[in-house]
Structure 1
Amino acid sequence: MHQVNYMAISTFFLIFTCALLVPFRPSTASFQHCPNRTALFIFGDSFFDTGNNNYINTTSFDQANFWPYGETYFNYPTGRFSDGRLIIDFIVIFIFLAEHAKLPMIRPYLQPRNEDWSKNYHGVNFASAGAGALTETFQGSVIDLKSQLGYYNVEAKRLKHRLNHDAAKDILTNAVYFFSIGTNDYTIRFLLNSTAMISFTRSQYVGMVIGNLTMVIQVNIRKGGRKFGFLNLGDLGCLPGLRILDTKSQDGCLEEASSLATLHNSVLAKSLSEIQMKLHGFKYFLYDFNRDLAQKVHQPSNYGLTESKKACCGTGSFNGIFSCGGKRLVKEFELCENPDEFIFWDSYHLTENVYRQMADHMWGGDQTGKSTLKSFFQ
């Protein structure tokens, strides 16, 4: 895979947890789908990946299937880059409580599936830790956004084969499409000393990242998608894994990485607004993950937190060396006793406690766009 600098990692943000998928059988007899129940299709990186990378040929830099990952909630590693659940896990709970439905079994797309996968169909999670909007980002080690779209196209065909055309179209049209992508397209420059941006201006590079994302959105729309949810990027320079690379700023954040995230978020917001003006029926919400994380970093006590810069698991300054679990290049690592007091679980990802708080904000309306997440399920 990638040649990794000992202080860095190939993946960043967390993961999502929505997925339910299984091999198809050409039969419609077992399909059950409540017309009032909304399916979820999840695209993204480690912020949303609930275990797809457990099933691909990659390295431990892009996997979290070893202790102490998962120690807080699951008591075993699931592939989620956290001590427990992710934002999407909590969002799924909110959704199915809102719809008075039984909480579905949520599986990553690549996880082996049961024969009766079409019963009570709820959607699928395509996200892959380390993935970027650009195919070249950690190429060969992750499921990039274009490949995730390919999986989605296969899934749409499976639904149409299993069901009649109208029933499949109903699912695809009423589904909510979630995205968390872009972080790795920028962090790769700092983590691997990549030359990915050297031939482009910052604006050109950000334009390519957003362009690839909007291409996927347009394909989803052609398949019938109308409701979309997005997370913007956090302050990349303040992640423990990038803080350790800073030698200039007073607050310890890597300014160049932070400014790229700011530019990306600005272009993303503008692009989504433009799509909404051009395409009738396109509805979206954009969760300001950047602001939510910044508020916790700068005023942790307001959120019941005590440590806002140092990761719970890792080594080096801020525990910013990506060694959590001892399975990566650096074997030594520290592990805190109470992850709930920390913002960061490892060098690049957050704790379950912080994800839970963010999910509350996300569900409750801390977002932009003419729609709210909750409104998609009412």
Structure 2
Amino acid sequence: MGFLETCSSTPMALNLNLFHFYIFVLVACFTCPIVCISSHERSQAALFVFGDSLFDPGNNNYINTTTEFQANWWPYGESFFKYPTGRFSDGRLIPDFIAEYANLPLIPSYFEIDKQHFVHGVNFASGGAGCLVETHRGFVIDLKTQLKYFKNVVKLLKKKVGARESKQILSNAVYIFSAGGNDYLAPFSSTNLTTPYPDREYLQMIMGNLTSVLKGIYKEGGRKFVMLNMVPVDRLPNIQALNLQKGVKNGDFIKKITSLVKMHNSGLPEMLKQLEKQLPGFKYTLFNLFKVFSESIDNPTKYGFKTSTTACCGTGPFRGIYTCGGKRQVKEYKLCKNVKDNLFFDSFHPSELAYKQYAELLWNGTPDVVAPYNLRSFFELST
């Protein structure tokens, strides 16, 4: 007796088979949308963040360091979070806005990934960090250590979603860097007012370490890199105040630091072009932060600020003495009434409003400030 004959001759068997068929269809209907939604969420490009205090979301809260390299007290965070997160600003930073524009959640600190999802990216940045291990050694997470932490995340990602999907996430992800500033600033915090090596050699060391880190990420599957060039550090309130303190050496001090910044900003695009030639599939975009930062200092009203030379929070000339917050052992410091009037929040770092404007230019700016891609097209670009 065949199967069809059995079915036709036994109504109970027929009903049982139909029941199983309906269950199968029902499960398929519910399963398909779940799979589709999961796939859509994971196809969104992730954001991995590296660098210094311009990008640090609070990583330095978790390391053994000094208050000079932390911002986890009031009034930091006053404008947006309403509590200090460890960000060196009154609110959000560039990576926070980029995540919003890319429809991503806030990218978690490396030290918080055990509590949060990290398939959308991780932030490794550390206030005070440089490309060189020697820069503020022992107090910050230097760029090579940030690469080491990234490799740890890659291992966790493979365990979480599997080798195939982790490879796709890493190749589609965007890797953004703000690095180098502290390498040039640190030597001038001493009385020597000079770098420990000849300028050209010092630049090559910094670029060499940066190149090594980019290649390390590329080896793990990264393909899309975003670099910020150096701000005009000689125009920061802290450097302006320091300049006044140096007395007869004023001119030499400003010339020296300006020369180093110009050398770095000239060398950065050349380095990136070389990597593009050497590494198949390597893509980069460079944000001219120097240009937009200079413009906002020179024309504050164009950017909606009343002042661009004096910090909102600090003491001394230009409020340039780095004393924003009680934990820096200064009982009294000045705080402006409306932070939105100020380009600078403290003596080194921009306000949230400034960061937002820079993030908008990075996201959707013209080739004179971000090239060869703006970041919006970078997120839309699949590898």
Q: What TM bracket, shorter-length normalisation?
A: 0.7 to 0.9
Structure 1 counterpart of 2:235, one-letter code: C
The one of 64, 67, 70 equivalent to 2:71 is: 64
Question: Could you state the TM-score of these two structures normalised by the residue count of structure 1?
Answer: 0.85
Structure 2 counterpart of 1:272, one-letter code: L
Contact 2:49 2:95 (8 Å CA) reproduced: no
Structure 2 counterpart of 1:266, one-letter code: S
The one of 363, 373, 376 equivalent to 1:374 is: 376
TM-align CA RMSD: 2.3
Deviation sequence 1:41-66 (CA, Å, 0-9, x none): 11100010001111111111111100
**In the aligned structure 2, how far is the partner of 1:106 from the partner of 1:282?**
23
Deviation sequence 1:154-177 (CA, Å, 0-9, x none): 111111222321111111111111
Identity %: 45
SS at match of 1:244: helix
SS at match of 2:294: helix
Higher helix share: 2
Structure 2 counterpart of 1:333, one-letter code: Y
Q: CA deviation at 1:259?
A: 2.1
Q: 1:178 to 1:60 in 2, by over 3 A?
A: same
**In the aligned structure 2, how far is the partner of 1:355 from the partner of 1:374?**
17
**In the aligned structure 2, how far is the partner of 1:186 from the partner of 1:211?**
15
Structure 1 match to 2:147: 149
SS at match of 1:43: strand
Q: 1:138 to 1:279 in 2, by over 3 A?
A: same
Q: 1:282 to 1:329 in 2, by over 3 A?
A: same
Note if 1:130 corresponds to 2:131.
no
Structure 1 counterpart of 2:376, one-letter code: K
**In the aligned structure 2, how far is the partner of 1:321 from the partner of 1:53?**
21
Note if 1:108 corresponds to 2:109.
yes
Contact 1:242 1:253 (8 Å CA) reproduced: no
Q: 1:274 to 1:316 in 2, by over 3 A?
A: same
Q: Note the 1:186-265 alignment, pairs <5 A.
A: 186-193=184-191, 197-198=195-196, 200-247=197-244, 254-265=254-265
Contact 1:55 1:111 (8 Å CA) reproduced: no
Q: Note the 1:67-86 alignment, pairs <5 A.
A: 67-86=74-93
Moved more, 320-329 or 70-79: 320-329
Note the residue ranges of structure 1 that are not aligned, 5 or more in a row.
Answer: 1-28, 97-102
**In the aligned structure 2, how far is the partner of 1:66 from the partner of 1:350?**
17
Contact 1:245 1:254 (8 Å CA) reproduced: no
**In the aligned structure 2, how far is the partner of 1:365 from the partner of 1:251?**
35
Bigger Cα Rg: 2
- Structure ranking higher on relative contact order (CA contacts 8 Å, 6+ apart): 1
**In the aligned structure 2, how far is the partner of 1:140 from the partner of 1:250?**
30
Structure 2 counterpart of 1:372, one-letter code: N
